[in-house]
Amino acid sequence: MGKGASQQAEAAGKSVGSKSLTTCCQNDPVKNVLCEVFCTARNEWHDCKDKKPPIKCTRPSRRAEQMLDEDKWKRKLGKALKDSKRYPKGTKFFPEKKIIVPYNKEIPKGKNGKPKWKRTPLSPDKIKKALEPVSKKLIATIKKKLGQKLVKKAATAWMKFVPILNVISTAYDIYDIAATGYDLYKAVDEAMSKYKGKVFQVRPDVVIEGPDGKLEDIYDFKFDDPETKYQDDWSKNPGQKELYDEALGGDNSKKKAKKISKKECDCRDSKRDIRAK
């Protein structure tokens, strides 16, 4: 933890003590822990901004990332994942993990006819660079384990997990799941073809992945400051929610990216909240 973050946490600790900053989500252990992290980081940030003389304050999103890298919060969120009934055994979390998302839908345009998203798709060279070693690794593993002959195995189960690049590299590990209907080599080509359209890179605050690498959930922290009227939200970052939802399966999935905010978490009011009322 940097000096600024340390001072920030110390200042917040003196004003908060050991009291929990949220009573939210008792029936959702994962969201409960993430709300604890969010409300704590938010409170530290607010207290830091009140310091006299002013000190450099760690961005709350950065502070939340630091917290999730600490043993205390790793244990708490790890236990929450085990206790949750939503996720399979072996599910893990990753703060600020980069994900590459193919997006072949039309990008919304403004009144001026220009795309609303201020996002640049990955260049073909970057996509090729990312995909080639993965493709080679898959094919080499298939040949080594199954031989040169064409096989009809793993198809349906394997294809289920390949739309997102970050799990393609783990897909070959489940090649022996019994399934029929596709040739495995053809499945590799079909998987790679998904990345011929627009491809974007995103970095959610928290990614939840199943034991096979499949994306289970995406959470994003939306911090605010009532005194300056600052409020992060999906609308402040056009395309973010759409790409997160697409990473979770798009129109074919009921899973949607979730935001963690003061309202969602029912965070206890900070001094800045009280003054702003």
Asked whether residue 51 falls in the same domain as residue 169, the answer is: no
Which domain-ending residue is among 180, 198, 216?
A: 198
Which domain-ending residue is among 198, 227, 246?
A: 198
Evaluate whether residue 102 is within a structural domain: no
Evaluate whether residue 119 is within a structural domain: no
Q: Please give the structure tokens belonging to residue 137.
A: 């690794």
Evaluate whether residue 106 is within a structural domain: no
- Does 21 have pLDDT greater than 90? no
Which domain-ending residue is among 133, 167, 198?
A: 198
The answer to whether 8 and 21 have CB atoms below 8 angstroms apart is no
Number of domains in the chain: 2
d(CA 200, CA 65): 22
**268 Cβ partners below 8 Å, 6+ apart?**
19, 20, 21, 22, 39, 43
d(CA 88, CA 217): 12
d(CA 54, CA 8): 11
* pLDDT score recorded for residue 38: 98
Strand stretches in 121-176, DSSP E: none
**198 Cβ partners below 8 Å, 6+ apart?**
102, 103, 104, 107, 121
Q: Please give the structure tokens belonging to residue 209.
A: 């992945």
Q: Which domain holds residue 185?
A: 124-198
What value does the mean pLDDT take over residues 63-81?
Answer: 97
Evaluate whether residue 27 is within a structural domain: yes
Q: What is the pTM of this model?
A: 0.76
In single-letter form, the type of residue at position 94 comes to F
Asked whether residue 88 falls in the same domain as residue 215, the answer is: yes
Q: Please give the structure tokens belonging to residue 200.
A: 């974007």
> What is the per-residue pLDDT across 239-272, written as a single tens digit (0 to 9) for each?
999 999 999 999 989 999 999 999 999 999 999 9
